[in-house]
Amino acid sequence: MANDSSRLRISAVNDVVRIDFVDRDILDEATIRQIGQDIQRKLEPMSAPKVLMCFTVVEHLSSAALGTLITVNSLVKKKGGTLRLAEIRPEILEVFYITKLNKHFSIDESAEAALKALA
């Protein structure tokens, strides 16, 4: 599957769209906007998409990045699909707990666990 953005690596794992972040920092507003647009463009033609977003290399993210994740989740839900997040470092996971977004997202420790849940 072709890369939709230099900031993301998008691949297909069976019927799951797997999205890996390329950068350690997801902070720059323009980059975050671009990431959101790339993901939306990828998911737009799909029906009931199963999506896995992996944060393996991500060390920092801002509230603007959280906002984009919320927007992507809303889009996926609107289409009757499922979004799961995985491989989030403990420091970043704490941000999800502080903001209580752990209640909003389905979060798995590993990509394998997320793929199993999406199967």
Partner 1 sequence: MSARIEGHAILRGPRAEIDASQSAVEQAMTQHGYGREALFAVRLALEEALVNAIRHGNRHVPDGQVDFRWSVDGDEARFDVQDQGEGFDPDAVPDPTEDDNLEIPSGRGIMLMKAYMSEVEYRGPGNHLAMVYRKSKDA
Does 7 help bind partner 1 (rule: CB under 8 A)?
A: no
Does 1 help bind partner 1 (rule: CB under 8 A)?
A: no
Q: Which contiguous run of DSSP H or E holds residue 52?
A: strand 50-54
Does 88 help bind partner 1 (rule: CB under 8 A)?
A: no
Q: Considering the complex, state which of residue 84 and residue 115 has its C-beta at the smaller distance from partner 1.
A: 84
Q: Considering the complex, state which of residue 93 and residue 113 has its C-beta at the smaller distance from partner 1.
A: 93
Closest distance between partner 1 and the C-beta of residue 99, in Å?
5
Q: How far from chain centre, in Å, is Cα 81?
A: 13
Among candidate residues 98, 19, 87, the one with its CA nearest the CA of residue 52: 19
Under rule CB under 8 A, which residues in 28-67 are in contact with partner 1?
28-30, 60, 62-64, 66-67
Whole-angstrom Cα distance, residue 57 to residue 46?
27
The residue from 35, 43, 52, 95 that contacts partner 1 (CB under 8 A) is 95
Distance spanning both ends of the chain, measured CA to CA? 20
60-61 and 50-54: which strand pairing?
A: unpaired
Q: Considering the complex, state which of residue 16 and residue 84 has its C-beta at the smaller distance from partner 1.
A: 84
Max CA distance (Å), the chain: 35
Residue that is written with structure tokens 């072709």 in the block: 2
- Binding residues for partner 1 (CB under 8 A): 27-30, 60, 62-64, 66-68, 70-71, 74, 91, 95, 98-101, 103-104
